[in-house]
Every structure is written in C-alpha cells, then in structure tokens.
Chains A and B, each alone.
Chain A
Amino acid sequence: DSGVTQTPKHLITATGQRVTLRCSPRSGDLSVYWYQQSLDQGLQFLIQYYNGEERAKGNILERFSAQQFPDLHSELNLSSLELGDSALYFCASARTDSYEQYFGPGTRLTVT
C-alpha cells in the first residue's frame, strides 16, 4: 500500500459526459501528479500540482482540467468524454524535494 488513495476504482459513463476523479496524496506530500495509461499511448504525464498551484503540464487535453485543494487532495475533471478517453488514470504523490513518486491504485474509466 503506497498510501495514495484514488476514488472511484471504476467508472463507466457515456460519450459527452463529465466525470471527476479524486486523489488523496500520502501524508506530508505536497506534489500530486496525474498520469493516463492507455493501450495505444502507454503511460503519459498529464499535469502536476504543488501545494495548490499548477507546476507542470504534459499531454493534457483542453477538455481535461485539475486542481489541488487546501487539504492537498486533488481532482481531475474530464469533460465531453470520447471513446478514446477510456484508460487507467493514476495519481502519484511526492515529497517536496524528492524524485520518488508513489502511485495510487488508479481509476479505470470506461466511456461507452
């Protein structure tokens, strides 16, 4: 158990809908990262937050957004969903100055 929690574990929704994925980092970790794992694209970095502020962006679509709240949990919002958004979405957290990222169990999103 990494100490990073993600909810829900599974999510099934229809095209055009909007969903919110939630991540709680390990106690004391200030950085939260979001990654997408799909069969065709592999594991891709989406976005990073540090202590409530956006710090880095990767291959995140404009239909996707995220935020980190004062209690340091983070949410990833996916809107106007398409079939191709079906994937595993992982959250990872890290200490301020450490390269070590600890991953949550992931949320499996299925868009039908």
Chain B
Amino acid sequence: GDSVTQMEGPVTLSEEAFLTINCTYTATGYPSLFWYVQYPGEGLQLLLKATKADDKGSNKGFEATYRKETTSFHLEKGSVQVSDSAVYFCALSEHLGTGRRALTFGSGTRLQVQP
C-alpha cells in the first residue's frame, strides 16, 4: 500500500536558519503530494501541493519539488521564523476511482524555532 516516510523530529533551529524536512513516498501510481502544517491546538492547514513530477509547490516562503526519480518531496525554507514552529505533515493522495482521494500521511515532524 501507499506510505509516506518523514524525518524524525523534533527539528530545532535558530531564527533565520535554513530548513529542510525530508519526505519520501511509496505509491503504486502517480500520486499528488502535499505538505500540511498543524499549529498547536489547531487543525491541519494545507501549506503547498504538487500534482505531477517536477512540479514545485510554494507558499509563504516554503517550497517543495516533486521528484519522481527519488520518490521525494522535501520541504525547504530559506529563513525560518519563530512563528513557523509547528508540526509539518507530508501526505500523498492517490486517485482510486471517481471522487475517491484519501490522504496518506507521514508521521509528522515537529519544528521548533528559537529566537
């Protein structure tokens, strides 16, 4: 079955540091890939997405590129802020049939940014 593997956390960085959170996936077809973010006490928010190979998703300074050859979708940000502290989830969605698109999530990576 489909699966998503994320790097273990927590990741602790100083403000303005460069961020990379690794994500690799296993899927039988050609999934869409997503990063969701969960701030403390809140639900999941869609951060960015990519629907086909070599697509780059970007939002709020975060970027991720869909790499089919390495089955990866690593999240990057050039300069993190304290407000980026949250749990980040990598996810994929396979098209199982008309209207059937469940998300498979990684285990989540907690990011802590220190001032």
Residues in B with CB closer than 8 Å to A42 are: 105-108
Q: Name A's interface SS.
A: strand
Residues in B with CB closer than 8 Å to A64 are: none
Contact B89 A43 (CB under 8 A): yes
Residues 21-65 of B, flagged 1 when their CB comes within 8 A of A and 0 if not, give 000000000001010100000111110010100000000000000
- Separation in Å of the B108 CB from the closest CB of chain A? 7
B contacts with A, residue count (CB < 8 A): 23
Contact of A45 among B34, B42, B45, B103 (CB under 8 A): B103
Closest to A48 in B: B102
* Chain A interface extent, by class: 20 to 34
Residues in B with CB closer than 8 Å to A4 are: 43
Residues in B with CB closer than 8 Å to A25 are: none
Q: With A and B bound together, what is the CA distance between A103 and B89 in angstroms?
A: 13
Residues 20-32 of A, flagged 1 when their CB comes within 8 A of B and 0 if not, give 0000000000110
- Separation in Å of the A60 CB from the closest CB of chain B? 11
Q: Enumerate 8 A-B pairs (CB-CB under 8 Å) in ascending A order.
A: A30-B99, A35-B103, A43-B89, A48-B102, A99-B32, A103-B43, A103-B44, A103-B45
A2-B45, A50-B100, A103-B43 are known; give 16 further A-B pairs, CB within 8 A.
A35-B103, A45-B102, A48-B100, A55-B99, A90-B43, A92-B103, A97-B99, A99-B49, A99-B51, A101-B46, A101-B93, A101-B101, A101-B103, A103-B45, A104-B43, A106-B43
Which positions in B face A, CB cutoff 8 Å? 32, 34, 36, 42-46, 49, 51, 89, 93, 96, 99-108
